Homo-oligomer: A and B are copies of this chain.
Amino acid sequence: MFIAMNRFRIGLGKEDEFARIWKERETNLPEVPGFIAFHLLRGPSDEQCTLFASHTVWASRGHFEAWTRSDAFRRAHGGAGQSAGLYLGPPQFEGFEVIQAIDGRPAD
């Protein structure tokens, strides 16, 4: 399992607009081979900005990399420039391999 995260530093007061852009975008992720789940995460704030992270779980690093080479990926990222005023600096990508997993009990 592989987790792809992009960290975004969003100017204070711009958080709702940033979240709205993500919620309104169209995505074909559920049809992409190896896609398991996507979450948009809101992290801590400091005096300058609020940390957000996109957090996508893939079956493997290979599935993620295949998606980044697809036409659908290019289309999904073509509009990023429209919201450039929200960002303090470029997003920071981090890819993680899952090396240990502990699952909770199924809900009753």
A interface: dominant SS: strand
Contact A43 B100 (CB under 8 A): no
Given contacts A40-B98, A98-B39, contact A104 B29 (CB under 8 A): yes
Contact B42 A102 (CB under 8 A): no
Residue of B nearest to A56 (CB): B102
24 A-B pairs whose Cβ atoms sit less than 8 Å apart in the complex: A1-B39, A3-B39, A3-B41, A19-B99, A27-B102, A30-B102, A30-B104, A30-B105, A35-B104, A36-B104, A37-B102, A38-B100, A39-B98, A39-B101, A40-B100, A40-B101, A41-B98, A41-B99, A42-B96, A42-B99, A43-B94, A44-B94, A53-B96, A55-B96
